[in-house]
Structure 1
Amino acid sequence: MARDRPAASRPLRTWLAGVQHGFQQGLAGALDLPRDAIRDLPRLTLIGQGELVVENHRGVALFDQERVLVDLPAGRLEVCGHRLVIDRIDREELVVTGRIDAVRFLPGTGGDRR
């Protein structure tokens, strides 16, 4: 009986990450859960151009009226606009209001601070 082993050319860590990702995807499907509930992913809700809700954040790295940098589990989120305000913040949710002109992911920065 063949076993599912990592290929010789692929590092073990990469192989294990693939196995973990497959397990998480299968579990999310079996339990009918959204992927962000199983994996450590942020959820963004943009309401028009005036409100952004960020769930599963790791804190605010920078804030001024034209730019907000939000730490995420795997990187940062940059929010650009005018008259930006952090309306609410708690352990899981952050709400930015004002005129939001752009939202973009900055991978590989920030990080998990929990």
Structure 2
Amino acid sequence: MANKLGAMREKLVDTLELPAEITLNVPKITILAKKEITVENHKGVMRFSTTELVVNTSLGALTIKGDNLEIAFVGGTTITLRGNFKGVVYDNYEEI
């Protein structure tokens, strides 16, 4: 039942051309080359070091790996990270 409701919600968002990150409560990830990543609509920083950032999202933990990572901006549910990125992956993701 939850999958049907989610599928219907996604179809409605697509049909009405609404911003999915707001209406479906999913993160929006913007990558600018290999130098800057912005994650919007996250649910908090779980772990941070100069080689890894882990943030909680509605889809599970999002891990960003790289070198010389630094947090450039944090505000509300948005975080911007700078550095040399090597990968972005969702840990333990299971579709709702």
Question: What range describes the TM-score normalised by the shorter chain of this pair?
Answer: 0.7 to 0.9
The structure 2 residue matched to 1:92, chosen from 56, 69, 77, is 77
Corresponding residue for 2:16?
31
Question: CA RMSD of the aligned region, Å?
Answer: 1.5
Task: Mark the runs of 5 or more structure 2 residues left unpaired by the alignment.
Answer: none
- Give the secondary structure class of the aligned counterpart of 1:26: helix
- Structure number with the bigger relative contact order (C-alpha 8 A, sep ≥ 6) is 2
Deviations 1:58-96 (A, max 9, x none): 111111101111111131111111110011111221101
Residue 61 (structure 2) aligns with: 76
TM-score (norm 1): 0.73
1:51 aligned to 36, 45, 50, which one? Answer: 36
Name structure 1 gaps, 5 residues minimum: 1-15, 109-114
Q: Look up the match of 1:19.
A: 4
Q: Name the count of aligned residue pairs.
A: 93
Aligned identity (percent) is 25
Structure with the largest fraction of strand: 2
| Cα distance in 1, alignment partners of residues 27 and 92 from structure 2 | 13
Conservation of the 8 A alpha-carbon contact between 2:44 and 2:77: no
* Larger Rg over CA atoms: 1
